[in-house]
Structure 1
Amino acid sequence: MNDPRLKSQETPIFPFTAIVGQEEMKLALQLNVIDPKIGGVMIMGDRGTGKSTTIRAIADLLPEIEVIKDDPFNSQPLEKNTEEKETEFIKIPMVDLPLGATEDRVCGTIDIEKALTEGIKAFEPGLLAKANRGILYVDEVNLLDDHLVDILLDSAASGWNTVEREGISIRHPAQFVLVGSGNPEEGELRPQLLDRFGMHAEIRTVKDPNLRVRIVEERTLFDFDPKAWIEKYKQQQEGLKEKLIKAQQLLNNVDISYDFRIKIAKVCSELNVDGLRGDIVINRAAKAYAAFQGNTTVSIADIEKIVVLCLRHRLRKDPLESIDSGYKVKKIFEEIFDLN
């Protein structure tokens, strides 16, 4: 079913650089692309605020990756003995996880009958295999079964997916950026699960009438002539793509001073953040943001830019308490970093 005519009929994707507003969401996605070890992002906000459009747009912006042809796990050529194997370049995988997905659909299944009768491990890959080296997007993640959310978070953190059935075990790489979105009116994720997301972006419906008109006009013009609209933003898209690639290359050379690391730890301690995940994510995100700016040293401004995104969802103690909007995080940050 690899009909070349079908490949040419891909749905046009709204350019990332054409998206108006929603700076928190865009920044969180870009930083996770620069350093996937930040741990993904949870995007909570009103319906119809462009969550899905933005997530698809960031995936479309990324450079192609080299994979072994017809490999179900998008394996890198170096991952296996590939002397005899053909490779190809594909777009970064962007996998949608449907709300009603079963565990087998997500993780994959083992054909026990084939394993017993033919003595081979017959594995049918799931969505985690397809998402390897890409982005896994779960809309309405707060309505997903907790058990499934746990599996997703475990795979995202470890980079592996293990399927076990009747004494047979299959393990495959599952390295992806996990992006969840949801509407707070439909309930929050449990704090234990929410804490596992690296960042938490809040988005709100735009109130400014001029901005609303501009957003509607941009979308209308894109729907009328997608090719022309994509061409219009081509230069900006290429510029941002280049900036992201340079940031990825620079990331390992970025340094954060001991004094800043101590102050980050004090912020987390003062806010009673459980565990050390908050400290780790702030350090990673600050480095990613510095690299995004083309710098090799983290500044106070870099930390200030990302600290709310990294901590606002880690403050809750009572499951019924709403997520802090960021005021408390900002206040403590300013006190400890002497910005008052």
Structure 2
Amino acid sequence: MILDNVENLVRPVFPFTAIVGQEEMKLALILNVIDPSIGGVMIMGDRGTGKSTTIRAIADLLPEIPIVADDPFNSHPSNLELMSEETKQNFIKNISIATKYIKVPMIDLPLGATEDRLCGTIDIEKALKDGVKTFEPGLLAKANRGILYVDEVNLLDDHLVDLLLDSAASGWNTVEREGISIRHPARFVLVGSGNPEEGELRPQLLDRFGMHAEIRTVKDPSLRVQIVEQRSQFDKNAQEYLSESLTNQEELKTAILNAQNILPDVELDYDFKVKISQVCSQLDVDGLRGDIVTNRAAKAFAAYENRSNVTQSDIEKVITLCLRHRLRKDPLETIDSGDKVSKVFKEVFN
């Protein structure tokens, strides 16, 4: 039993850079890691297309982060915006804070999760034993400064999706339970995946996801064989396969870190901002989320390309991902929503 637990702790993860195809999904995940304020990714596609594998791979790729030791909210040791109230008070009073490094948290939200499991609740055992009301953190606390993954998000209860999206948008989780009021940071990259055949997400909820990636089963036989052989090699000798991918993994990790550092200095010309809004207007996109997310994603892509100015090709690369899920559905429409975004982009920009 103990051996099994040890194996689970060190279970190897398939390397992100070795994943063949699904470029749209990979790019959306990378951009959200560079700038979490983009607002997460909704990944819709066929079964067995490597959605879960890719999401776990990006979390495994990221460098370790510093946290306050024994803090249930993964508080940052020096950034006030990423601290729990208790840590913030200790920081302000110059009380010594013990720190440690952990891997970026990757939290799975099961379909059967309750609101208490998600947001946190009262520690009943401690209340009965010691007579004190203590907060027991939920999955939102564990996911702070990490990735929260919801598989089959289109089957999740709507009120849980609402809670998730509110926390993802505000960066905070507030819990009112039995006379206790707790507010803690909940900054995470929200990643949802699902199969459209099993039901669509409500448009107002879909709109809250920053990006939307569509993935399809690979049709090219030679590419399918390549994917199957790669997986077989990994299952046969994971450590050897990981060591062969190490150089590519380190290069991507460096590129992401560099992009995070230069992102605050990336500039987007006013003319481009106007044209992005013109595209959104012509597509009849409700609200301004589409404009905001496209601006952020274009800057993140420029930073990823190690540039301090956004180009037209940067915007072209991300605009479909940012807008396709915000278009109003017309059952009589013959053109795909992604193609529609691309067509209007070309009209406005060219």
Same fold (TM over 0.5): yes
Amino acid at match of 2:181: S
Q: In the alignment, is residue 14 of structure 1 matched against residue 7 of structure 2?
A: no
Offset of 1:168 from its aligned partner? Answer: 2.5
Alignment of 1:213-224 (within 5 A): 213-224=225-236
Q: Cα distance, 1:118 vs. partner?
A: 6.5
- Equivalenced residues, count: 336
TM-score, length of structure 1 as denominator length: 0.94
TM-superposed CA distance for 1:15, in Å, is 0.2
Q: Secondary structure at the match of 1:326?
A: helix
- 1:269-293 C-alpha deviation (Å, 9 max, x unpaired): 0000000000000000000000000
Is 1:267 the counterpart of 2:298 in the alignment? Answer: no
Cα root mean square deviation, aligned = 2.3
Distance in 1 (alpha carbons) for counterparts of 2:39 and 2:60: 20
Q: Distance in 1 between matches of 2:160 and 2:264?
A: 33
Alignment match, 2:51: 51
Q: 1:276 aligns to what? A: 288
Does structure 2 conserve the Cα–Cα contact (< 8 Å) formed by 1:313 and 1:324?
no
Distance 1:323 1:45, change over 3 A: farther
Aligned to 2:207: 195
252-261 or 157-166: bigger deviation? 157-166
Deviation at 1:321, TM superposition (A): 8.5
Identity %: 72
SS at match of 1:77: coil
Q: Kindly state the Cα deviation for residue 47 of structure 1 after the two structures are TM-superposed.
A: 0.3
| Helix, strand or coil at the partner of 2:162 | helix
Deviation at 1:325, TM superposition (A): 3.9
List runs of 5+ in structure 1 lacking aligned partners: none
2:163 pairs with one of 151, 155, 180: 151
Of 71, 77, 96, which residue of structure 1 is paired with 2:108? 96
CA deviations over 1:18-63 (Å, ceiling 9, x no partner): 0000000000000000000000000000000000000000000001
SS at match of 2:42: strand
Contact 2:68–2:98 (CA under 8 A) maintained in structure 1: yes
The whole-number CA distance in structure 1 between the counterparts of 2:16 and 2:128 is: 49
Give the equivalent residue in structure 1 for 2:348.
336
Q: CA deviation at 1:316?
A: 1.9
Contact 2:327 2:337 in 1 (8 A): no
Residue of structure 2 aligned with 1:206, choices 218, 240, 263: 218
Q: Which residue of 2 aligns with 1:288?
A: 300
Matches for 1:1-340 after TM superposition, within 5 Å:
6=6, 9-78=9-78, 79=83, 80=87, 81=90, 83-111=95-123, 120-317=132-329, 324-338=336-350
The 2-side partners of 1:9 and 1:273 are apart by 45
The letter for the 1-side match of 2:304 is F
1:113 is displaced (CA, Å) by: 9.0
C-alpha deviation, 1:6, in angstroms: 3.1
| 8 Å contact kept, 1:42–1:199 | yes
- Partners in 2 of 1:196 and 1:175 — Cα distance? 15
Call closer, same or farther: CA 1:260–1:302 in 2, change over 3 Å.
same
Looking at structure 2, the residues matched to 168 and 150 of structure 1 have their Cα atoms a distance apart, in angstroms, of 22
> TM-score, normalised to structure 2's length?
0.91
Q: Distance in 2 between matches of 1:17 and 1:277?
A: 31
Q: Give the partner amino acid of 1:137.
A: Y
SS at match of 1:269: helix
SS at match of 1:67: strand
The aligned amino acid for 2:58 is I
